[in-house]
Amino acid sequence: MAVLVEDIAPRKGRIPGAKWIEWYDFMDRSLAIPAFKSTQEIQSICAAQGIYPDDEIIIYCFKGARASNTYVALKEACFKKLRVYFGSWNEWSRYPQLPIEEGPR
């Protein structure tokens, strides 16, 4: 039996200018208990997206939960100007006057 899951985000896309990095990309999953990768590894992952430790960074996900993991990873990797947009995409997508980017990320 197929189960239909209703998508609760009214619009698809992302906040303009956002860079996509999955939260688990910062995790070393080869360990028995996964932990954050090294500062150098995290900084390298971010640099590949044009994100650097002195940049002002606002982190978001769908509703703010996964963004908190990213916040801790970046803080531990010496990123200085971090904030979490707690309402995240769940909130942003509900306001049609706010711009979005669509298409491939």
Which positions are annotated as active-site residues? 61
Which residue type, as a one-letter code, is found at position 22? E
Residue pair 61/99 in contact (Cβ under 8 Å)? The answer is no
Residues 6+ apart with CB under 8 A from 17: 101
Burial of 48 (0-12, 13-18, 19+ CB in 10 A): exposed
